[in-house]
Structure 1
Amino acid sequence: MKWTPIVAALSVCLVNQVDAKEPKLILQITVDQLRADLLNRYQHHFTDEGFNYLIDEGVYYTEAHHQHAITETVVGHTTLATGAHPSSHGMVSNLWFDKQLQQPIYNVQDKTHPLISANAAVDAENEIDPTQKASKVEGRSPKNILATTFSDELTASNNGKSKVFAVSVKDRAAITLAGHTGKAFWFSKSAGEFVSSQYYFDQYPQWVNEFNQQNDIAKYADTSWTLSKESTEYLFGDNAAHDWKTKLPGYGITFPHQFGKRDNPYFSTFLTVSPVGDEMTANFAKSVIEHNQLGQNKVTDYLSVSFSSTDYVGHIFGPSSLEAEDNLLRLDRTLASLFSYVDDKVGLDNTLIVLSADHGAPEAPGYLTQFGTKATHFDLASLEKQQDIVKLKKGWKISGNLFSNAWQPYVNLDHDALKKSGIKLKDATSVVANVLNNVAGIHRAYSYHHLLEGAVPKDEITQKVINSFYPSRSGDIYIVFEPNVFVADFDGLNVASVHGSPWRYDTHVPIIFAGFKLDGQQIERPVATVDVATTLSAILGINAPSSAAGFPLKEVIKQFND
């Protein structure tokens, strides 16, 4: 057949029609600790190309919630990745206590797959994240995830032709979304660069080395985080030195926040407790797109980008602070830059974007109490001194401690002490849980055995607890504190705000699907974060993740089918 311009044009049209059935790239964005209402609160700051592009042009679910009780980073990310509850995917908390090994387990630790970079392991002496500090293992992998992820099913659907990558400051945020079959990168505060483990590579691709060389964090030395606008333009522009803000040595509790010298042991931590962490993450994501030619494939590629600064800033300063406000303003600009890059390299019309969050955020108690709202902190160490616990120990002839350790939201009993006193563990957990139910600040305590046997009340909060229960990774007694009662101790560092509860402020997150074929639509019906992975699977017509409990979001599917 003679190749005429008309035939060529028709052929291009036909190819485009075939390609248009599926996106060339799925870009999954997770904003750590983005409570749903914060998008509305700060929308006036946002550009048309960042958050507002998603809000105005996407299918925006305003009443999305996590359906589990332990609203922590690894739990939410894994739920978004698998469409499953923690009771199935197994990532029940950032840290759990292994009763056989008698030691805490960090969620993505794996001694068989060490890090590729030298000197990139967690610096326990200067790390402020207590879950990271607790890990005694350098290696990282997804081996503890007990279900397949959407990215795993994407890989399996086309014999591994899709390219799958995930990037974050946090290892647990990248590893969970990359799944078992993708490639994960995260930022090492110790090494000051993006790293990975030998689960993914024997050695780094050259482009990774080049990126780390060209993006030396030393350039931030002797600089500071300053406001993007005049202080009068901010809701929290008074920049007050509130005493509930966390006092990181040398960082300050008012603007400007100094990053200090490169040799300061907290230097890289300060970068992550600022918009710089997200900007570095987005720049690395752009490098992933460029050097791996994402979106240039005949099948759909996948990139997960999890932005962590909102979480770190929220913990240290609280979500209702000038720091949190400016950080979201800067993240909006970072998103706009990333979307522009994707549009140039792949085309936003060829890219399906989905945004959500791993959990919400409670207000700092000090912020609430200034308006008359009751809020307080709870000291887990005080449980041992509760009058009824003291009486119980006396009756059981236990002279030492009854509680061996506490890994929020669980407390564990001293099994040896109980055995010596002839008290059965099942009986002890039931009795102690009943005692704790009468302690001020505790909403309800659940014994391990009652959860295992289903001998618990039938209500919304209990169902969230059940959804979080995985027997071999759960403690003796699960404690749900009353709303606005918090355990704020981070391994000796008292922080402004701590998430992790089943209450609405911790479960309420946005879900937005945008780009590709979608038109703007705001949906107010209740949906769940387990629906994200099943919706992505339905869009591509592939198998849903193995333990998925969610359902495809009908408004998104309808637009794809129209």
Structure 2
Amino acid sequence: MCFFVLASFLVSSLWAQKPKLVVGIVVDQMRFDYLTRFEKRYSENGFKRLINEGFECKNHHYNYMPTYTGPGHASIFTGTSPNNHGIIANNWYDKFEDKEVYCAGDQKVKALGTESIKEKMSPRRMLTTTFADQNRLHTQFRGKTIGVSIKDRGAILPAGHTANGAYWFRGKEEGQWVSSTFYGNKLPDWVVDFNERDAVKKQMQSWNTLYPINTYTASGPDDTNFENGYKGKEKTVFPYDLKKLAKKNNGFDILKVSPFGNTLVTDFAIKAIEKELLGQDTYTDVITISYSSPDYIGHNFGVNSVEIEDTYLRLDLELGRLFKELDKKVGKDNYTIFLTADHGAVHVPSYLKRHKIAAGYFDEASFKAEVVNFLKSTFNENGLVKKIMNQQVYLNYELIREKKLSLEKITNELAHFIRQQKHMQYVFTRSQLESEGMTSYIGRLIQNGFHQRLSGDVVYVLAPSIISYGKKGSTHGSPQSYDTHVPLLFYGKGIKQGKTYKKTSVTDITPTISALLGIGMPNGVTGNVLDFVLE
């Protein structure tokens, strides 16, 4: 009898040392310097609470290219890079299916909450487990996992293969939170109830600056020629009447490209915590929250815009609201948070050029035509290229075998040709990337993003601040520091207070959380435990 009482006590003590809830927050397209640029305007309850009371890794980077949303979210939560987890881009050419595929697309499932065929989504293309999967396995599936994001891939990939639910926002004419049959046969009643309320319509409001616009000194002027803006409004200046502009901007999709998309995510996440009873028993639960709107806004207006500054000041308040609810519903000492980003972004090259900084634009369409013509003229064969996308060239293996050509000679000749093109920084062949002797820093990043089965045959890297994009707005995807350097903040139960300038990697987050929870590492993990973060 005493033995069983003692055993029960020890088990209870062990679980008491673990957080009841892990909250993994990803801010889509957050450069590290957004923490410092806007620091004076942040409240004490959002970003500053994490920094002042938690642990900040100031030299945190992605260790691979391409720095896109899909690979970013997968890498954060699996603890490994695309060469292992297989999410090599948002979209890529699948040589086995001979078509472009989407990282979260799955035609075997049905959408829930919408009739649209475009919402058939699941994590099946991700080849490894997440720490949330391992937590589910460790707790005999008693610990829950919920994923929330405006973007489907931002909800699905972090939550993993065993999640109880992943929910994302369908805009257009619907304005609904949706999911797929991968997670169950119907939406939970609380999600249906949430969709029936006016929470989404309420956000169709006027977007003006939170504070007087003349106080926004951490960004450029409001009226510039570096921003795309919304259709139907001649100038990209505040205020923006979202309800009036919605018709010409895909209806409820306009909320994604506004800070009120972040409000929707916070509202939904708080409701999920309440209705799913997250953090209410002895088994650790996980909620993954991805704020996608900063990415849409950054692409649209650029990283130096007033719109971005206002978005982050408002996001800071959203985080404060979320943390307050966590304090109330879970208990201040009962949860652990980490906050990071899936990638950064480049300054608008035309803006950089105006200030005499080397930058520019890459004509991808012309480049593709030149590659095709070069191979045709060099090897007297048409059709040697299957696809060029994500700065990778996929060759036609069937034709090469049929014509008894040398694959090695073709890739070497092609790599040499591409190196001579304007705006190129590096070019690597498949054989180079499959070798173990890569010595250059950029080379190792490319190698970590190169999946032997799924990737192409020649990979090229553009020079810093050279992008294949429109002349307005910002983008990302490169191995340069403006895309790899992002925030990493830990806070809560089991976390020390402090900071470090040691270089840390995106793949280190999941091993650290796994160690905190005392669970098995995900099955593809390659990162390290940041022991200096843990108490």
C-alpha RMSD of matched pairs (Å):
2.3
Distance 2:343 2:208 in 1: 27
Distance 2:130 2:334 in 1: 23
2:133 partner amino acid: D
1:502 partner amino acid: P
Give the drift of 1:338.
Answer: 0.5
Equivalent of residue 67 in structure 1, options 63, 68, 74: 63
Distance 1:428 1:26, change over 3 A: same
Distance 1:231 1:390, change over 3 A: same
Q: Does the alignment pair 1:204 with 2:187?
A: yes
Equivalent of residue 53 in structure 1, options 36, 42, 49: 49
Whether contact under 8 Å (1:33, 1:361) holds in the other structure is: yes
Q: TM-score, normalised by structure 1?
A: 0.88
Distance 1:384 1:541, change over 3 A: closer
Q: In structure 2, what is the equivalent of residue 242 of structure 1? A: 224
Give the drift of 1:336.
Answer: 0.4
Q: In structure 2, what is the equivalent of residue 308 of structure 1? A: 292
Give the drift of 1:395.
Answer: 3.3
1:58 partner amino acid: G
Q: Does the alignment pair 1:555 with 2:532?
A: yes
Q: Does the alignment pair 1:84 with 2:80?
A: yes
Distance 2:407 2:223 in 1: 48
Secondary structure class of the residue paired with 1:509: coil
Give the drift of 1:401.
Answer: 6.8
Q: How does 1:453-492 map to 2 (within 5 A)?
A: 454=435, 457-488=438-469
Q: In structure 1, what is the equivalent of residue 387 of structure 2? A: 405
Q: In structure 1, what is the equivalent of residue 96 of structure 2? A: 100
1:49 partner amino acid: N
Higher mean alpha-carbon deviation, 367-376 vs 246-255, is at: 246-255
CA deviation digits over 1:445-473, x for unaligned, max 9? 22234323x18742111111111111232
Q: In structure 2, what is the equivalent of residue 259 of structure 1? A: 242
Give the drift of 1:264.
Answer: 4.5
Give the drift of 1:119.
Answer: 3.1
Give the drift of 1:362.
Answer: 1.1
Q: Does the alignment pair 1:363 with 2:347?
A: yes
Q: How does 1:21-32 map to 2 (within 5 A)?
A: 21-32=17-28
Secondary structure class of the residue paired with 2:228: coil
Equivalent of residue 520 in structure 2, options 530, 537, 543: 543
Whether contact under 8 Å (2:424, 2:462) holds in the other structure is: yes
CA deviation digits over 1:111-156, x for unaligned, max 9? 111211233444xxxxxxxxxxxxxxx4111111111110000001
Q: In structure 1, what is the equivalent of residue 150 of structure 2? A: 169
Gaps of 5+ in 1: 1-12, 123-137
Distance 1:209 1:504 in 2: 42
Equivalent of residue 281 in structure 2, options 297, 304, 316: 297
Q: How does 1:344-493 map to 2 (within 5 A)?
A: 344-384=328-368, 386=370, 390=373, 392-398=375-381, 403-413=385-395, 423-452=405-434, 454=435, 457-488=438-469
Q: Does the alignment pair 1:109 with 2:105?
A: yes
CA deviation digits over 1:387-440, x for unaligned, max 9? x97555323224x67644322221334567756765334421221111101112
1:105 partner amino acid: V
Distance 1:207 1:390, change over 3 A: closer
Distance 1:214 1:364, change over 3 A: same
Distance 1:207 1:527 in 2: 39
Distance 2:185 2:403 in 1: 52
Q: In structure 2, what is the equivalent of residue 5 of structure 1? A: none
Q: In structure 2, what is the equivalent of residue 534 of structure 1? A: 511
CA deviation digits over 1:353-382, x for unaligned, max 9? 111111111111122122210111101122
Distance 1:236 1:21, change over 3 A: closer
Whether contact under 8 Å (2:220, 2:305) holds in the other structure is: no
Higher mean alpha-carbon deviation, 368-377 vs 15-24, is at: 15-24
Secondary structure class of the residue paired with 1:104: strand
1:471 partner amino acid: Q
Give the drift of 1:248.
Answer: 3.5
Q: Does the alignment pair 1:155 with 2:155?
A: no
Q: In structure 2, what is the equivalent of residue 226 of structure 1? A: 208
1:459 partner amino acid: S
Secondary structure class of the residue paired with 2:23: strand
2:134 partner amino acid: E
Q: In structure 1, what is the equivalent of residue 4 of structure 2? A: none
Q: Does the alignment pair 1:334 with 2:284?
A: no
Q: How does 1:190-201 map to 2 (within 5 A)?
A: 190=172, 191-201=174-184
Distance 1:238 1:38, change over 3 A: closer
Q: TM-score, normalised by structure 2?
A: 0.92
2:171 partner amino acid: K
Distance 2:166 2:531 in 1: 31
Give the drift of 1:225.
Answer: 1.2
Q: In structure 2, what is the equivalent of residue 273 of structure 1? A: 257
Gaps of 5+ in 2: 1-8
Q: In structure 2, what is the equivalent of residue 525 of structure 1? A: 502
Give the drift of 1:208.
Answer: 0.4
Distance 1:389 1:100, change over 3 A: closer
Higher mean alpha-carbon deviation, 99-108 vs 260-269, is at: 260-269
Distance 2:131 2:402 in 1: 48
Distance 2:42 2:217 in 1: 14
Q: Does the alignment pair 1:325 with 2:309?
A: yes
Secondary structure class of the residue paired with 2:304: coil
